[in-house]
């Protein structure tokens, strides 16, 4: 007895912590089978992901992890565009080829169309873009104006943000707001007050890239609060779990914002798995990973849940303007864990 006590007290403290506390460990190896077991029965909707920058491996993994639909906001491509025609081609790909490519992997693809905040600072080009936006925002599968808002919070950014809010109001479309990385709290407040000033119904506005500093005000004012789960910057998913524990599920949604940078297209299913482990109810998880995003963007009249809730059936022989994703009889699924490529 005495000896046992003695042994216990000599354990290094991190052993005791492992047994006694509920703290989330700093690193957990993701085992695909266990992961899939945790999220079995869930389906996910990622309302912010830039698939033009992602690979077919991503599409396969996303479909396998239960992602049934995505929204791809129009954004900056990593370097400034030099002319109107590249904007046109980009918007056309969001409503065309990328949507087709996604469907070939069994994932329903929607998009939002807008002039991003960075390129709002090129006034000559921004004016030209504003003229063509109405040609795209009424197309099938366009569920909002986005992503728009502030980056450096310049006067020109404000000018084109306001013009696009008016466009959204006229088209009765939801708005997807990108909030700045720098000076986030002020930028978020400013985005919301301008939207209200233009008479937008906050239930038509999704304020994105929130954190602990901004969430309360966004929800209090009746906007949707979206959270980007991002490695290193924005939000990690352990912090996200705490936010859901504190604020509940109403009007909160999670996204990956996966793009050309270091990001994770499985951010939603991984966060759902973490929430399951933390004992958060399945109803709450379903709301923040699926239902709330649908509720917000279905106001566009473009989202019909029956199109994707049981998965899309894809025909590998389908073509888009004569072009197929799958070359010469390839199948949309391949075994990524095999050394052999055949």
For residue 257, CA distances in Å to 36, 72, 178, 179, 252 come to 22, 9, 11, 13, 15
Q: Determine which helix (DSSP H) or strand (DSSP E) holds 71, and give its type and residue range.
A: strand 67-73
Angle at 266 between CA 55 and CA 310, to 5 degrees: 90
Q: Report the nearest approach of Zn ion to the CB of residue 79 (Å).
A: 16
Give me the helices (H) in 198-236, please. 215-220
Q: Report the nearest approach of Zn ion to the CB of residue 90 (Å).
A: 13
In degrees and rounded to multiples of 5, residue 206 shows phi and psi of: -105, 115
For residue 126, CA distances in Å to 8, 122, 158, 283 come to 68, 6, 12, 43
Q: Report the nearest approach of Zn ion to the CB of residue 147 (Å).
A: 5
With respect to Zn ion, which residue has the nearer C-beta, 39 or 226?
226
Beta-bridge partner residues of 27: none
Q: Report the nearest approach of Zn ion to the CB of residue 254 (Å).
A: 14
- The answer to the question of residue 227 lying near Zn ion (CB under 5 A) is no
* Residue 332 three-state SS: coil
With respect to Zn ion, which residue has the nearer C-beta, 164 or 257?
257
- The answer to the question of residue 210 lying near Zn ion (CB under 5 A) is no
With respect to Zn ion, which residue has the nearer C-beta, 112 or 302?
112
Distance CA 242, CA 240 (A): 5
With respect to Zn ion, which residue has the nearer C-beta, 75 or 161?
75
Q: Determine which helix (DSSP H) or strand (DSSP E) holds 155, and give its type and residue range.
A: helix 155-171
With respect to Zn ion, which residue has the nearer C-beta, 51 or 195?
51
Q: Report the nearest approach of Zn ion to the CB of residue 35 (Å).
A: 25
Q: Report the nearest approach of Zn ion to the CB of residue 44 (Å).
A: 18
- The answer to the question of residue 257 lying near Zn ion (CB under 5 A) is yes
Beta-bridge partner residues of 69: 45, 108
What's the first-to-final CA gap in the chain, in angstroms?
A: 62
Window contacting Zn ion (CB under 5 A); options: 216-224, 235-243, 255-263, 306-314:
255-263
With respect to Zn ion, which residue has the nearer C-beta, 75 or 230?
75
Q: Report the nearest approach of Zn ion to the CB of residue 48 (Å).
A: 6
- x/- letters, 63..82, toward Zn ion (CB under 5 A): ------------x-------
Burial class (CB in 10 A: 0-12, 13-18, 19+), 139: middle
With respect to Zn ion, which residue has the nearer C-beta, 42 or 48?
48
Query: Using CB under 5 A as the criterion, which residues of the chain lie in contact with Zn ion when the complex forms?
Result: 75, 257
């Amino acid at each position: 007895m005495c000896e046992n006590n003695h042994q216990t007290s000599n354990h290094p403290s991190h052993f005791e912590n492992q047994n006694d506390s509920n703290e989330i460990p700093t690193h957990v190896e993701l085992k695909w089978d266990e992961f899939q077991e945790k999220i079995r029965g869930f389906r996910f909707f990622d309302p912010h992901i830039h698939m033009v920058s992602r690979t077919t491996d991503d599409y396969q993994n996303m479909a396998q992890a239960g992602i049934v639909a995505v929204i791809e906001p129009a954004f900056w491509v990593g370097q400034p565009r030099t002319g109107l025609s590249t904007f046109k081609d980009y918007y056309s790909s969001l409503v065309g080829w990328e949507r087709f490519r996604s469907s070939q992997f069994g994932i329903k693809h929607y998009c939002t169309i807008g002039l991003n905040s960075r390129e709002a600072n090129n006034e000559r080009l921004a004016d030209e873009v504003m003229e063509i936006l109405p040609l795209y925002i009424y197309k099938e599968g366009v569920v909002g104006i986005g992503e728009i808002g502030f980056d450096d919070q310049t006067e020109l950014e404000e000018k084109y943000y306001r013009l696009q809010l008016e466009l959204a109001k006229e088209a009765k479309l939801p708005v997807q707001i990108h909030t700045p990385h720098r000076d986030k709290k002020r930028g978020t407040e400013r985005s919301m007050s301008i939207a209200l000033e233009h008479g937008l119904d906050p239930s038509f506005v999704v304020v994105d890239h929130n954190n602990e500093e901004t969430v309360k005000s966004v929800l209090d004012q009746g906007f949707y609060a979206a959270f980007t789960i991002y490695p290193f910057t924005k939000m990690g998913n352990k912090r996200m779990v705490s936010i859901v524990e504190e604020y509940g599920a109403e009007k909160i949604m999670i996204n990956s914002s996966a793009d050309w940078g270091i990001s994770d297209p499985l951010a939603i299913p991984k966060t759902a798995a973490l929430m399951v482990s933390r004992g958060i109810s399945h109803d709450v998880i379903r709301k923040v990973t699926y239902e709330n995003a649908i509720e917000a963007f279905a106001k566009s009249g473009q989202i019909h849940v029956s199109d994707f809730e049981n998965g899309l059936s894809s025909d590998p022989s389908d073509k888009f303007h004569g072009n197929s994703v799958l070359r010469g009889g390839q199948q949309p699924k391949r075994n990524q864990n095999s050394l052999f490529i055949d």
